[in-house]
Every structure is written in structure tokens, then in C-alpha cells.
Chains A and B, each alone.
Chain A
């Protein structure tokens, strides 16, 4: 048993600087939101619909989409759930870049021009901003995304050093939103490519000291549709809403494949 680390005790009273904690009037502004529409029940043709909206400084793209759906056109369709960037439902192309709608503040975009919202690329569009996620999850499942340990399970927890735990911390953050995979030019042209998210999730286990199946995963990713398809364009790293160093993770997996084959 270790001695608990001391946590610093804050003072009972402090002088607060004037205006601390923000606040004040939240500014409002007008935007034009252009939404890519597609509903095969209505027409095989996709189109753009344009909405003029008054929004506020704390609003996100998701708030604008909700305003459209709730006040203008209820048929505008998109997935969303947690609305603060942890569930991964609302990845979409916003002004040509893959982002989560709930994490993109309108004030951070150029509101003097129309804001363009489209479905993520490379996955079949089902309706408006909704794509078929099944091919994405299929790749994820293929890399065996679960701990494989051949030894006897101990009665207590398996021990793992803090350094070993830190080794794969970055890739545990993945929320499977598909922003990375659907930003990858290789994935756009070759739908068979595993894509960055599957490799990130393989990395999470390959570099976990408790896992024994790294070789099997490296073999899978050494496939012609595996890590070697990556052209290091860094789109995935830029797209990741969780700040995962995706390209770096892919490079580490490539390195592991090489050092294994030596």
C-alpha cells in the first residue's frame, strides 16, 4: 500500500479579479447554413438547401442544425447524441473539413460566407448527413479490437507500470466517429483500405503490455489493404476531434511490422 499523494488544499478565501469567470452579453450574429440534402425516397439527385439563421456566440454547428430541424425543416436528417464531443455520432464535413458538429463553434468559422455542411466521404450516404457506418465498423472488427491474453488470469488485476500504461494512452481516446477514416484520400478511392481508425484501434492493443496478439494484428495490417496504403497526408490527424496523433500511431504500427519481419 502506498501513502496517498498529498493534494494541495486551496485557500478558504481568495480575491477574485473583476469580471472573472467570463460572462457578459452573448453576441448574436446571422449565418447562412447550406446543407447537402439527399433522400432516395424523394429523388436520386442530391441538392443543397440554404437556411438563414440568427445564432449566438456559444452556439455550435449542431445548434444551427437543430434550429433548422426544429424551426424550419423537420426532414433535415443527421445523427447526434451527447452533443459535447464524446459519443462520436455527428462527424460531418463542415466547410470541407471533417469535424464533429457539436464541437465546432460557429464563431470560429467564417460567418461572412455560407457554412457548408455535407456527409463524411467514402461511406454510402443513406439520407442527408447520415451515412452507412457498417463498412467502417467492419474494418474495426477485423483488427480484433479486444485484449487477447493467453496466460492464466490472475485473481487480482494484471500489473502494468505507469510507463507501459502511458505507451498506448493516446489511441485509447478514439470514439469511432470515423472523422479520420473518412478524411483519408486513400479510403475515398479504395474502400477496402482498413483506414486510420481501425489502425488506431489496433495500435491501442499492439502497444498494450498486457496483450499477446500483437503479431496477429500486425499480420492483418501487413495486408495489401493494411498500413502500407497510408500515404502520410496527415488529414486524419487534422480531422481527429480527440486530438489523437493518428498519423504517428500509423507510423508506429508500420515500424512494428518492419521490426517484426527483420
Chain B
């Protein structure tokens, strides 16, 4: 075992982690730990754009952007955070341009902007051109540009270091009202070097979690194989709450049967969805902005079309994305990559044929709760000194119950930057927290238990059954029966997980072992998501309960907070305690959400 000491340790090297590293690295001794190589991170798969009210091509302002974000999130957005994001969006885009990001340009040479779902002019009157973009590879360009700037600033990376534990100490403390509580404080992380199988402990004054999402709990997903909810899982296992975990975004246009993402930019550039009758069905569901309605509404509309028998194909199980009325030159200039995906993976020529699509699990709105500085909360308002989170792993909450397209690339830049600055500034003012005794023991035990296990169950089989049940029961439509069914399956899979074995017993690049550890996080996170979904007896944003189809502001205008608690039982699930946290309102009263 080796011990390293840094002022700031950043876990994850996607957009949020590297944006944080660029700030932190110039202020404090910083290391970035990633289980991949930085340029492999899934930020690179984002396509369509990053919204900011630059007003380069038509009138726009950050207040409209804030409103759209709040309404898009079905009013579960913390409005102070949404204001910060929409205001700082403009500098976030300009920062990237100055770092070298090759945005598409207007004829005057300014950053070009295009339409995107849910982004409107003047509080919903019409779609607005707000998304700054680089063809349909905006995320790729952001990831490359941030990595390039990390190279420029000599940021220290530990590639293929898989972080498996967060080290915290607890101190007795007293609240203002006199009640005693345990104050957590960040001390370091424990990581597993994939190349050697060695354990490395990193002691740090500040730690930033930026490790991404958890899409792999589902079978049909746009997410990378490596998005297994590790960061959320580590925090949860160490007693930190997870916020709003029931809210998962299903992106409307995944390639049917595969889940590979086709950007919403396809609809921003004029593409439309059709059912088996050739009908543009979004005219019925969102008469004003039609195909550019927010993703939760479009995904649900698609699923309804299929359920009511108007799906396409031999099994009537998908709808069509029609680009055939667009000029091939326009498609080539604005959507080159996604049209190539359709050709490569489905053998469909988008110039002349509509593309089969169906919703695909895309984004976790929930995550580790933070305030607008990126500081992690151990309950509704107590900050964990030295611990930060940003990006998909975090919940600020700027996305509420449904994220608008492009707001994730924005989130990682705005809150990545903020958490990097605040983490470094905090590190300058404080000493290292002493590491707990035997800091690495828990991780070594976890690794060795998996390595030496001699059970009969296969990791891949358990994972497949988990993903199947999540797709069947916790997808676009949910009800008490489906969620209970999912929880029963998850419980039995958790039992079977105790009886796994891995075939690779070596130390070097033991990715067999890695997948087994990842499955442990997937099982934990699937359970939390499902319990939270069962607990929210209303429909809001990405969470649609068929048994409670209306939004219920009286009882549920609240964030959910899930805690690991061995004593607790929630909805027949032992070990999870559900709590709530108020939503922050500044200027927008909840209204009926119509588009």
C-alpha cells in the first residue's frame, strides 16, 4: 500500500472533474484519479450543445434560461442554483472558447446557436436558439478542450485508479438549537490501481467527486459500460444521503434496440417523430413546441404511441425519427456523427429513410446533494468540510425532476469550475485531517472477498437480470406493482451476489474483479432508485406513476433524501431511510406544465 498527499484530490476525469482540475490545479497541489483515461470519459459522447443566453443569433437572456430550466424540471429545481447556472452559462461558454473549443460559427464569426428541447423565448412562447455547439460532437470537443488545458496546466492524473472508498472522520458537534450531532469531515480516498492491483490511499484536504452517472442499472441506455454509480454508491455506503434518486431521464431518441444516443439536435435542426401511421404525433401532446418539448414529455408520448399500437416495425415497438425532408448538406453539416451511427449500427440511410428510435436511459437527475458552491451536504443543510461534488454524480439541484437538453454540459462546466475553486480555496485555509486507522482495510477486504470468492453465480448473469427488471419495471411508466416487483428481484439478486465468483484471480488489470465490484454499486443504486420511486406517490418530470398520474405539490413539492440506515425500513425495504428536503424558490411559482 502507498499513501499520497495532495491539497485537492478530484475523483473522475470527465467534464466536471477536468473543469475543476483546471481551476484547482492553478491554486493548489491537485491530483485527478480516474478509472479510465481522461479522454475516455462519457462527456465525450454528449452531442447536441451547451445552452447559454449569448443572444448571438436572436434575442435571449439568462432569466428566460432560468425559467425554462425551472419549468423543465417540473418546479423541483432549486431556483437559486438554476439562476447561478443560467447566469454563469455565458462565461462558461466564453471560457471554453478562449481555451480553444472550436464552436460552429455564425456568418459574422460569432459562436453559432441552435434550438433545443424546452429552451424557449419569453417564458415558453416559441423555441429559441440558445445551444452553442460544435456539429453534433459538442461533448467530444468539450472533453478534448478540457483535457488539452489540463495538459497545458500540468495537471497530475492517476489514470486507471479506481476509487473505492471515501475516508471521513466524525466529531461530536452541537447545532445552534443545542441538539448534538456527528459532524463528518473529509480526510481522503482509497483507490485500486487497475494496472498493478495495488491499493493507494490519497490523503487530501479537499476531495471533489466528479465520477458521473449510473445508467448501467438499465439494459437500454445511452451510457457507457463504465457508468456504474460508483461515486454515488461510495457516498451512500459512508452514510451520506442521495437526493432525488427516483428521477432518471429517458432520452427519447435512442437507436431502437441498442440505446445509442441520437442527439436532440436532430429535432432542433428540424427532425420530427412519426408513428406507424406516418403521423407527427407530438402535435397532439405539445401543440406549441411539438417535437422540441422536454425529454420526459417526448419519451412518455413515444411510449404511449407504442402502447396504443401505433409503434413501427415487426413488433410495433419503436417510432421513427424523420430527417428525410432536410437537405443532405444540412444534415452533413450539423448532424454528421449521429447519421453515421444510424448507418453503422442499424444500416439505415437517414437522408432517405426514417430512423427507428425508442427512449433510452440517459441521465440521473439525482445524486450527492450539494449547495451552490459544490459543497456536499451530510443532511439537509450541514456541509461536510472538504468534500465537494459536481456533474452527474451530484444534485445541486439544477435539473429538478427532468433535465433540459444541453444543461448537463452546462452543469459540469459551471459547477465543475465552482467546486474546483472552492475546493482549492478551502484547502489553503486548513490542515490535513488525520486518516482513520487502517484506512485501507475496508477496501482491501472488499477486493479480496471478491477475488477469492468461490461461489456459483456469474456477475454478468446477475447484472443482466438487474438490467432486465429495471427496464421492465422502473422505466418511463411505473406503478406500485412494477416497483414492488423490481424490489423483490433486486433483493433476490443481492442475495445471489453474495455467492459470486470471478475467474480472474490475478492482480494485473483484473477487469473481471472490477466488474464484480461495479455490480455491487449497481445493485445498491438500483435499490435506492426504486425505493425512492415507490415512495414518491405522484407524477413529476421524469418520474411517472400510473397509479398517481398527477403532480401533487401539496405533498411532494420536496426533494427526496435517501440514507443508508441499518435500523430503518422503508416500503418493506430494510436499510434505507427516506427523508425530504425543501425546494428553494426565488421568483417562480409552480404552474401547470404545458408546452
- Interface of A toward B, CB cutoff 8 Å: 1-2, 4, 7-16, 20-25, 39-42, 58, 69-71, 73-75, 77-89, 103, 105, 126-128, 130, 133, 137, 140-141, 144-147, 153, 156-162, 165, 168-169, 172-176, 205, 208, 210-211
Contact = CB atoms under 8 A, between A and B. Distances in A.
Given A16-B274, A21-B320, A74-B512, 7 more contacts: A1-B55, A22-B353, A70-B458, A70-B461, A82-B45, A133-B37, A161-B105
Contact of B269 (A1, A7, A58, A174): A7
A23 B256 CA distance: 10
Interface in B224-254: 224-226
Contacts of A169: 102, 135
Contacts of A174: 144
A75 B512 contact: yes
5 tightest A-B CB contacts, nearest first: A147-B100, A70-B460, A159-B109, A74-B503, A23-B313
Interface string B395-413: 0000000000000000000
A89 B503 contact: no
Interface in B129-153: 129, 134-135, 137, 140-141, 144, 148-149, 151-152
26 contacts: A1-B56, A2-B107, A15-B278, A21-B313, A21-B320, A22-B313, A22-B348, A23-B356, A24-B314, A69-B512, A74-B512, A75-B503, A81-B225, A84-B45, A86-B337, A89-B37, A126-B195, A146-B151, A147-B100, A157-B97, A157-B110, A159-B110, A161-B105, A165-B102, A172-B144, A173-B140
Nearest to B148: A146
Nearest to B504: A75
Contact of B257 (A58, A75, A105): A58
B506 interface: yes
A162 B134 CA distance: 12
Contacts of A84: 45, 260, 341, 345
Say whether chain B's binding surface is mostly helix, strand, loop, or mixed: loop
A65 to B, nearest CB: 11
Interface string B18-59: 000000000000000000110111101100000000011111
B276 interface: yes
B98 A87 contact: no
A156 B102 contact: no
Contacts of A133: 37
A15 B109 CA distance: 41
B325 A8 contact: yes
Contacts of A13: 277-280
A86 B129 CA distance: 26
Interface string B339-382: 00100111110000111100000000000000000000000000
Max count, chain A CB within 10 A of own CB: residue among B57, B225, B257, B314: B225
A15 B320 CA distance: 13
A210 B100 contact: yes
A175 B312 contact: no
Given A39-B506, A58-B345, A22 B224 contact: no
A244 to B, nearest CB: 12
Given A21-B356, A22-B356, A173-B137, A75 B40 contact: no
A151 to B, nearest CB: 11
A75 B111 CA distance: 48
Given A21-B313, A87-B45, A10 B322 contact: yes
Interface string B195-206: 100000000000
A70 B40 CA distance: 22
B123 interface: no
Contacts of A11: 280, 325
Interface in B297-327: 312-315, 318, 320, 322, 325-327
Interface residues of B, number: 94
A69 B507 CA distance: 17
Interface string B504-526: 10111111100000000000000
Contacts of B503: 73-75
Nearest to B505: A75
B554 interface: no
B449 interface: no
Contacts of B443: none
Nearest to B314: A23
B330 to A, nearest CB: 8
Contacts of B56: 1
A14 B512 CA distance: 50
A74 B271 CA distance: 43
B547 interface: no
Contacts of B393: none
Given A20-B354, A168-B102, A2 B39 contact: no
A82 B37 contact: no
Contact of A16 (B99, B224, B278, B506): B278
B224 A87 contact: yes
Contacts of B124: none
Contacts of B354: 16, 20-21
Contacts of A2: 57, 106-108
Max count, chain B CB within 10 A of own CB: residue among A14, A140, A165, A169: A14
Nearest to B319: A21
Contact of B320 (A20, A77, A82, A89): A20
Interface in B54-103: 55-59, 93-94, 97-100, 102-103
A79 B97 CA distance: 32
Nearest to A60: B345
Given A21-B312, A58-B258, A75-B506, A158 B40 contact: no
